[in-house]
Structure 1
Amino acid sequence: MIDRNPLLRKLTPQPLPLLLVAGTILALASSARAQEGVVRWYDTVRQPLSDWRLVAGGGALLAPAYEGSNEFELSPVPYISATFGILTIDTRGATLRAYDAESFSLDLTAGYDSGRDEDDADHLEGLGDVDWGIDLTIKASYEAGPGELYASLTRTLGGSDGLTGTFGAAASHRLSDTATMTLGASSTWADGRYMDSYFSVTPSQSARSGLATYDADAGFKRIDLDLAVAWRFTGRWTLISQVGLGYLLGDAADSPIVEEELQPSMALLVVYGF
């Protein structure tokens, strides 16, 4: 909403909403690749208004024009996040934490899937649009020292009407008192409705686009590696850089819609914490 993401939670030296920034970068990258980003959603809001925290900033993202494209787009990345106790509202949506124990946490999320426009690339002409939808996600995470294991399940209402699951791990390393590096790896599974929306080609789409007809089945559609570094260069300013490398698998990789199986991305963001 992918969110998107243990990579974001270990990036900055302090446990502020700044940790959400890298996840937002990854979620926006996922939007550019037929969004699979996860937005977290928590339990109740009972903290006083003074508990709100605000983070704002922006940067740039370079990512494939769509999932499977061999063309890249450079896009601006605006960011704002407000935290009120266990509720966070940011550019991805709203997040509530349902459960938080010493090492285990459970998040419920409400976000959005931006879908895909056939105008995103010449190769998509004739395929029609995949409409936007609402993403509802449940995510379980287990932390052990600098590492984290997680699994999430996302149901999209509207758009693809699909179901996706992401399984991954991340580990962080403190480079200095003001800089942290995090490495993450994940794999993503998708059901038949999601795969049909983004990777299948119907006879009518084939006639309009010139692509061969294709029926994509459910299965694991991609794996991802991500490396991020966050540097708090003053008391309230943080610079975050991220590079990602995705690789399409199975029926997704074999689709005539896909021009390139290797899906790299990179982003740079500067944020200010209030």
Structure 2
Amino acid sequence: MSRYRETLTLVPLTVFLLTLLNTQTAGAQETGRDLTGSIGLGISSGPEFNGSDETSAGVIPIFDLTWRDRYFLNQRGLGVYALRNHGPNDLSVGIAIGYDFNERLVEDDARLAGLKDVEAGALLTAFAEYDAGIADLEFEVSHGLSSDGHEGTRATAAAEFGMPVGKRVYLSAKPFVTWADGSYTDAFYGVSAANAATSSFSRFEAGSGFERVGIELRASYDLTVRTGVFLGVEHARLLGDAQDSPISFDDSQTEISTGIIFRF
């Protein structure tokens, strides 16, 4: 369950952080400051690592907070908007530094014996969001900052289509495609000559290219004005060298998540 090990250790810290933020919110209302967003807790189950045919599950903290419509703390990390809901199509552009929980450890699967660990680490992300009317368009580029991680770059383009069903239900579908550079693909899918000599895999050089394509489906239900529950399913298929890699035991990658959210 290495995919969620760090997430589980973050839960106590997140609870403390949310308590602190709620305290600040009360003070913010008195001073006219603007802290808005949502917090919550969920459960997620997905592949043990990129290309794994085994799954692991864990508890995930959920937070999406915005301070004065400029600074934010969400799944991308702690960041700032250069533009926020700008123009008639609500263009938003920003940058964030966060933590990439995606990793591959030898202890996760006995078949990985002899390979080098790819550990989780800091991640720098730049993004743009644009309301195109029929869909919300998203584009983001992230780069790994940890020397024990992949130190690679990924770019993801997505389009989210959503619609309300009645007064309480909201459904959305977000197809996406991800491109990765050679540093990322070689870390997760490549087998160096040295690793080939110490493992059961033949040498495999993974280069840059489209890494995966998929779709994220999500349904949410409002229990009250400020409280809701959700169910999400993300299904992706590995492409190119990610698909051809001997370390990819399953080209089909599915993640399921559910939880509760509190808005304020």
| TM-score normalised to structure 1 length | 0.78
Would you say the 8 A contact 1:146–1:173 is kept in 2? no
For residues 44-55 of structure 1, the aligned pairs below 5 Å read: 50-53=33-36, 55=38
| Aligned-partner Cα distance in 2 for 1:230–1:197 | 36
SS in 1 for 2:187: helix
Counterpart among 234, 239, 244 of residue 249 in structure 1: 239
Would you say the 8 A contact 2:217–2:233 is kept in 1? yes
* Other-structure match for 2:22: none
The residue identity in structure 1 corresponding to 2:110 is: D
Counterpart among 172, 185, 188 of residue 182 in structure 1: 172
Higher relative contact order (CA 8 A, sep 6+): 1
Counterpart among 112, 115, 123 of residue 127 in structure 1: 115
Q: State the Cα deviation string for residues 2-37 of structure 1 (Å, max 9, x = none).
A: xxxxxxxxxxxxxxxxxxxxxxxxxx89x99xxxxx
Q: May I ask how many residue pairs the two structures share in their alignment?
A: 232
Would you say the 8 A contact 2:72–2:78 is kept in 1? yes
Would you say the 8 A contact 1:49–1:84 is kept in 2? no
SS in 1 for 2:50: coil
1:164 matched to 2:151: no
Listed as ranges, the gaps of 5+ residues in structure 2 are 8-27
* Other-structure match for 1:214: 204
* Other-structure match for 2:143: 155
* Residues 65-74 or 205-214, more deviating: 205-214
% identical aligned pairs: 28
1:232 matched to 2:217: no
Would you say the 8 A contact 1:241–1:269 is kept in 2? yes
| Aligned-partner Cα distance in 2 for 1:69–1:156 | 21
| Cα RMSD (Å) | 2.2
* Other-structure match for 1:111: 98
- Quote the offset at 1:81 in angstroms: 4.2
Listed as ranges, the gaps of 5+ residues in structure 1 are 1-27, 33-46
- Quote the offset at 1:259 in angstroms: 0.2
| TM-score normalised to structure 2 length | 0.81
- Quote the offset at 1:167 in angstroms: 1.2
SS in 2 for 1:246: strand
The residue identity in structure 2 corresponding to 1:112 is: Y
| Aligned-partner Cα distance in 2 for 1:84–1:264 | 33
Would you say the 8 A contact 1:147–1:171 is kept in 2? yes
Which entry has the higher C-alpha Rg, 1 or 2? 2
SS in 2 for 1:79: strand
| Aligned-partner Cα distance in 1 for 2:136–2:210 | 21
SS in 2 for 1:119: helix
Counterpart among 84, 87, 99 of residue 71 in structure 2: 87
Consecutive aligned runs of 4 or more in structure 1 exceeding 6 Å deviation:
none
* Other-structure match for 2:18: none
| Aligned-partner Cα distance in 2 for 1:129–1:144 | 41
